[in-house]
Structures are given as C-alpha cells and as structure tokens.
C-alpha cells in the first residue's frame, strides 16, 4: 500500500495559469491550435504509447511515467478522438509542470504501477491532482488572450447581422459560442465553454 498516504499540495488557479502560459510560450510560438503532439514528441522527447483498453480497465485517458519519458494513452482516443487525445496530452504535461517532484517520488514505470497508484491513492487527493492537471490543460490549449479576441470578433459579427444575443444570459451565451470556437483550438466545445466562463469570471 505504498500510495495510500499520498498528499497533494494546493496550487492556486493563478499559478496554474501562469505556469501553463509560460510553458506554452517556451515551446510553441505558432498561434492556435497549439501543436501539443509536436511539443510532446519532438521538443520534449516524450514517447506516446497507445495502450488498448486503458480507459475501460482503469478509467484513464492517459498516464505519464515518473521519469517523464513516456505517456501511455488510450488507444481508441489516440486513433479516433482528436480533441480528447490532445486534452489528455496537455493534462499529462500538467503533471510534468505542476507535479514533477510528486511524480518522481511515486516512481511509476509500468502499467501495473499505474493501476496500483489509481486504486490505492485517497479519492480526494486524486481528485485534487486531476483537477489541477485539467486546469493546466485548459489554460495551455486555450490561451485566454486568443480566446478573448475570437469571442469579441464573433460577437461583433453577430451584432452586425442584427442577431439578438441580448436574450442570452452570459453562461448560455458562452455555451452557444463554444460550439463556434472549439474547432479553432482543436478541443471540445466543453473545454471552450469552461474557458469562456473563466474569462467571464475574470471580468467581474
């Protein structure tokens, strides 16, 4: 039971955003969509290894090894689910950037140890860990400055066509806009909706 007493440190949203922005700026300067596979495989020299039934067997889309040399990914997502696969890679980069020392201490080097870690760690601690990595992935793949520009451009176009968007509350509007924006970032509409709501909260 070597993972039972594992504890995850608190990281603020602002710190996660800053780390995601800085990491992206270091490795990617070509705008959107962010070239996550190129960053992982060519710039960071991390191998992407598809594993059959990774999701069905242990509920994982992906898992990075403790030496950060490989990322195991669910084979079905790798082959058929582009936006989910991209988010999974960014999520695992989040563990590299946010949890490097933590992961090194886990010393995970095989799928058996991945399974052991998932089943032994406290559920709340695991939730903290995954939430932090999810936030990193969202900030990394959906740069807020670019998102804000695109949002304003779409709203301007809608208004110029005299489309009445005043009937929508802000969250409903963001949900509507997400479907128009997601393909530009090669992420899901759900990912963009979360990012748009984050933008809205920053304005308040």
Q: Does pLDDT of 160 surpass 80?
A: no
The pLDDT score that the predictor gives to residue 159 is 67
Half-sphere exposure for 37 (CA within 13 Å, toward CB): 10
Residues spanned by CATH 1.10.10.2910 within the chain?
Answer: 13-141
CATH class for the region spanning 13-141: mainly alpha
Tell me the per-residue pLDDT of 79-128, one tens digit each, with 9 for 90 and over. 999 999 999 999 999 999 999 999 888 887 787 888 888 889 999 999 99
The pLDDT score that the predictor gives to residue 203 is 65
Helix/strand/coil (H/E/C) assignment for every residue in 44-70? CCCEEEEECCHHHHHCCCEEECCCCCE
Instruction: Name beta bridge partners: 72.
Output: 49, 63
Q: Does pLDDT of 169 surpass 60?
A: yes
Tell me the per-residue pLDDT of 40-77, one tens digit each, with 9 for 90 and over. 999 999 999 999 998 988 788 999 988 999 999 999 99
Helix/strand/coil (H/E/C) assignment for every residue in 70-139? EEEEEHHHHHHCHHHHHHHHHHHHHHHHHCHHHHHHHCCCCHHHHHHHHHHCCHHHHHHHHHHHHHHHHH
């Amino acid at each position: 039971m070597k993972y039972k007493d594992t504890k995850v440190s608190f990281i603020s949203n602002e710190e996660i955003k800053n780390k995601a922005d800085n990491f992206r700026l270091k490795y990617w300067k070509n705008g959107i969509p962010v070239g996550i596979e190129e960053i992982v495989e060519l710039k960071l020299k991390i191998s992407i290894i598809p594993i059959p039934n990774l999701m069905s067997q242990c509920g994982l889309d992906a898992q990075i090894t403790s030496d950060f040399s490989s990322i195991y990914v669910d084979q079905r997502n790798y082959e058929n689910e582009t936006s989910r696969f991209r988010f999974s890679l960014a999520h695992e980069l989040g563990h590299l950037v946010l949890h490097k020392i933590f992961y090194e201490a886990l010393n995970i080097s095989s799928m058996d140890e991945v399974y052991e870690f998932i089943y032994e760690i406290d559920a709340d601690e695991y939730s903290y860990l995954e939430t932090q990595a999810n936030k990193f992935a969202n900030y990394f793949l959906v740069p807020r400055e670019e998102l804000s520009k695109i949002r304003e451009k779409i709203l301007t176009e809608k208004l110029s066509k005299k489309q009445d968007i005043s009937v929508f509350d802000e969250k409903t509007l963001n949900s509507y806009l997400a479907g128009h924006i997601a393909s530009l970032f090669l992420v899901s509409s759900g990912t963009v909706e979360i990012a748009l709501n984050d933008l809205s909260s920053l304005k308040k």
